[in-house]
Amino acid sequence: MLRIGLNPYGLTYTLGLQGAGTSRANLAPINLNGYLSLAEELGVRAVELDFGIARALDADGIAALRDRLQAQDITPIISAGLAAVRDAIAFAPRVGATVVRLGLTPVLCGDRAELGDGWQEMVSNVRRSLATAAPIAVQHGLSLAIEDHQDFTSTELIELCETCGPGIGICLDTANPLSVGEEPVAFAAAVAPYLRHVHLKDYWVQWTDEGYRLIRCPVGDGVIPFEKILPILTTHQSELTACIEIGALHARHIRLLTPAWWQGYAERPARELAAALGAARVGRMPESAEWRTPWELEADGQTVIDYEIGQVRKSAANLRALGWL
């Protein structure tokens, strides 16, 4: 059974996480209470909590958050970067969370070439950090769910799980396989035994001379075949949290048709790459279509807020139509 939830990262402007301290800041972002109210209105059964927001609560606020989640039968997941993993591990049990979702690197768009020779050093640092954190997580009764955050392939994530300790599992972002040139269904099948959490994300795709752009859209409106992925998600877990996450306000350009993009990647069978390219061709946008989000078009703040919340609501409606929510 999937416990469908809500993720904060499709609401970055609405929550004040994007544009802070600039002329484009949201001057009245919804706070944690507003985020939880939206989750309750949508009828979800899980919420992902940004650690940077949640850690600012005092003891009474933490207790109130835990009590509210328990009263609504909502499962919390703590979301953090690898640099904050120890603090996130210590915090998670205080709100009743048993999973800490981790982003591992700052790499986006699968573009390891930007790091030059630094990718392998970064991977070594990730491996050391995970190996240190894994036993601490186990002591706290937690799993660390490492995400395919447009940086690692399915094979690489599995290798980290198998070498860094029993406390390590995977958070599958259903759309991010396209960012590393993998077919989403095959990626999901490969990591399924290691799943601890899921991000339900979708993209519209627009092809370019260098590859393709991944453009945020409501879950169920893009290219990801959720009807094929659902049976895979529940193969190895009797219950799994899966949170709605709309993509970033900046479109992601995957330049895998350029030789430089492949720096740092292992050789890959042509059939696997062909499957990924085929998946990215389904329902593609015309090359002449406007691909920029309201944020990229420098729309006013209320327009961006309406855009973010509208896509979340449409995602929930699509999932409800599929019988998932």
DSSP alpha helix (H) spans, the chain: 32-42, 51-54, 59-71, 85-91, 118-139, 154-164, 184-191, 226-233, 270-279, 301-321
CA separation for the pair 140, 154 (Å, rounded):
27
Q: Helix (H, G, I), strand (E, B), or coil: what is residue 109? A: coil
pLDDT, mean of residues 167-195 = 98
What is the mean pLDDT of the segment spanning 117-145?
96
Q: Which residues contact 306 (CB under 8 A, 6 or more apart)?
A: none
Nearest alpha-carbon partner for 101 in 57, 64, 153, 46: 46
Q: What contacts 182, CB < 8 A, 6 or more positions away?
A: 153, 154, 272, 276
CATH of the structural domain 2-321, one choice from 3.90.550.10, 3.20.20.150, 3.40.50.1820, 3.20.10.10: 3.20.20.150
Q: Is the pLDDT of residue 238 over 90?
A: no
**Domain coordinates of the chain in residue numbers?**
2-321
User: Does the pLDDT value for residue 234 go beyond 90?
Assistant: no
pLDDT for 116 equals 84
pLDDT, residue 44, reads 97
The proportion of the chain whose per-residue pLDDT surpasses 70, expressed as a percent, equals 100
The number of CA neighbours under 13 Å toward the Cβ of 60 is 0
- Please tell me the predicted confidence (pLDDT) of residue 106: 95
CB 197 within 8 A of CB 99: yes
**Distance between CA atoms of residues 53 and 68, nearest Å:** 17
Residue 117: what pLDDT? 86
Q: Which residue has the tokens 């499962």?
A: 75
